[in-house]
Amino acid sequence: MLDFLLKFPDLLHSAIVFGTVIMFGALGEIITEKSGNLNLGVPGIMYFGGIAGLTSTFMYENVYCVNAGIEPNAALCVIMCLVASFLASALGGLIYSFLTISLRTNQNVTGLTLTILGSGVGNFFGGSLNKLAGGVGQVSVAVTSQAFRNYSYSLVNFFDGFTGKLRLGTLLFSYGFLTYVALILAVAIWFFLSKTRTGLSLRAIGENTATADAAGINVTKYKYLATCIGAGISGLGGTYYVMNYIKGTWENQGTIEALGWLAVALVIFATWKSLRAIWGSYLFGVLYWAYNYIPGLSRSTLELFRSLSGADASSYDRQFLNRILVMLYYYLHEYRGWKGPVVRNNATTHMLDRVAESFGEVCYEVPVGFKYISAKIDETDAVLGGESSGGLTVRGHIHGKDSVYAASLFVEMISAMEKSPAELWAELTAKYGEHVMEEDNLSFAPADKAAVHNTLMVERRLPDFGRAVADADYTDGCR
């Protein structure tokens, strides 16, 4: 319990960052639904916002500035990103408004279609940016992302200095400016809907359109404006995810869509009140991260936390994904007869090395980045290549992650071997021994980060783990 209490500030910090993503989505949807429109396209709109902000700043930061030989202007990067994100998201809201208000199409069907459109547009342009940047996972807008994540180190250190282990400075002031914009927006929306004539008119439209129309309120105008502005605000959630949460890159694993649906759920959870969305979003964030901070949880309790929060990237998940790579390589080599080496990045299970060695094959290690895995498969004619986040490909398949193919291959393995994954894994661990991955989230005061980096990366001194360290890899960070 004491260990959990000491880590509680870290848990709250993580929860606030996570919660801000869905808070933007929920605040925009609250405005939209107050006009009487139920827009289930929030996930797609967040895709619009995320990819528009990333594309605009990528073209400025990595194309224009590189060709012109100048340094990117951080303020201009932020302005371009926010404007592009808001306009692209508002355009999604305009499409929805035209179809549902003017053409009177079904709101649910239109919203779901907008979600599919948004994810397709986002991943199409995200893939194009990856190609321009040199490969899968290589797109980066470091200057823009840093500008979004900057905060006052002196303010954080000042409050951390006299609050000790509570670290109130880190808890309250160590976020990018969009975190505080979300809070201000929540209060402003509450004031607008509760205290202004325009807000009351908007609520009247949502509650009884015919009565509002009879009172002389321009229903169509209000609905269009509320839906478009609400979509623009929701799109900022996608921007926050791209720039703050994953630090200025792009991933196509469906996380934005999952967070978009959480935002829709938050609207209902908060009973369409923007102030309640604040603590509701942070509560969702606590549930998302809590199992990483509470010691001694059973597997069933872990699954309960993950289902409550919609979590999809826990350390438990990564252990399971590591196991899938081992089982698939074993299946392809022994049952399909595909002979050859295997490729993994330096963050993926070393059990692949032991399995490959038993076959008389080689397990090649490459840096993090799927382009390195694909290139090594081509170079060595490897059977399979993968990473602990779940991305994998096999000999002769596309040079990129294909989750549908991977899932189909996994189902084929279970059917062909007539064993459950648990049975196969028990067989493999009995034969090769079990490899365990442990991870922890550590937070450091800003003043200590430089010292930690110097110790690990410059002096290359490792802390005392209480056990011998067999190897440390510096190919990509320190592992």
Q: Report residue 308's pLDDT band, with 50, 70 and 90 as the boundaries.
A: low
pLDDT of residue 295: 63
At residue 478, does pLDDT exceed 80? Answer: no
Say which residue, 460 or 447, is predicted with more confidence: 460
pLDDT of residue 4: 56
pLDDT of residue 443: 57
pLDDT of residue 313: 43
At residue 312, does pLDDT exceed 50? Answer: no
**Average pLDDT of span 77-95:** 97
> Is the distance from CB of 222 to CB of 33 less than 8 angstroms?
no
Say which residue, 114 or 471, is predicted with more confidence: 114
> Is the distance from CB of 115 to CB of 40 less than 8 angstroms?
yes
CA distances from 347 to 331, 430, 477 (A): 22, 23, 11
**Average pLDDT of span 125-137:** 76
Query: Residue 185 has which token pair?
Result: 């927006």
| pLDDT above 70: percentage of residues in the chain | 87
**What is the residue-averaged pLDDT of the chain?**
86
pLDDT digits (tens, 9 = 90+) for 352-402: 999 999 999 999 998 877 778 888 898 999 999 988 766 788 888 877 777
| pLDDT above 90: percentage of residues in the chain | 50
pLDDT of residue 358: 93
**Least trusted range by pLDDT, from 54-68, 109-123, 306-320, 369-383:** 306-320
